[in-house]
Amino acid sequence: MRKQDRRNFLKLSAAGLAVMGMPSLGFSAGFPERTMRVFIPTRAGGGADRNFRNFGGVWKNYLGVDLEPSFYPGAAGRVGYETYMGKAAEDCHDLIFGNMGPEVLNWVVKKPSFALDDYFYFMMVDADPGCVFISDKSPMKTLDDVVAEGKKRTLTVATSRLAHPASLGMLVLANKTGMKVNLIPLSGGKNTRNGVLTGEVDLGVLPLTTAMRRKGIKILGLFDEQNLVSQHTPGAVLINPEYKLGIPPLAAGARAFGIKTAAAEKHPDRFDKLRQTGEKVFSDPAYKEAVTKGKGSWELIAPGGVEACRKYVDNITTLGKEYRSLLTG
Contacting positions for another protein (CB under 8 A): 44-45, 50, 70-71, 73-76, 78-79, 82-83, 109, 154, 156, 161-163, 182, 184-187, 190-191, 193-194, 197-201, 214-216, 293-295, 328-329
Nearer to another protein, 46 or 129 (CB): 46
Q: At what angle do helices 47-63 and 268-282 cross, to 10 degrees?
A: 110
CB of 134 to another protein, least distance (A): 15
Q: Any idea what the Cα angle at residue 279 is, between residues 274 and 284, rounded to 5°?
A: 125
Nearer to another protein, 71 or 271 (CB): 71
C-alpha distances in Å from residue 308, one per residue of 6, 8, 119, 146, 293: 10, 8, 15, 33, 27
CB of 260 to another protein, least distance (A): 18
Nearer to another protein, 64 or 199 (CB): 199
**CB atoms closer than 10 angstroms to residue 283:** 11
Nearer to another protein, 73 or 248 (CB): 73
**Gap between the Cα atoms of 127 and 1, Å rounded:** 10
Nearer to another protein, 16 or 150 (CB): 150
CB of 214 to another protein, least distance (A): 6
**Gap between the Cα atoms of 166 and 188, Å rounded:** 12
CB of 110 to another protein, least distance (A): 9
CA dihedral for 122, 115, 261, 53, sign (positive or negative): negative
Give DSSP secondary structure letters for 68-113: EEEE---GGGHHHHHHHHHH--SSSSEEEEEEHHHHHHHHHHS--S
CB of 72 to another protein, least distance (A): 8
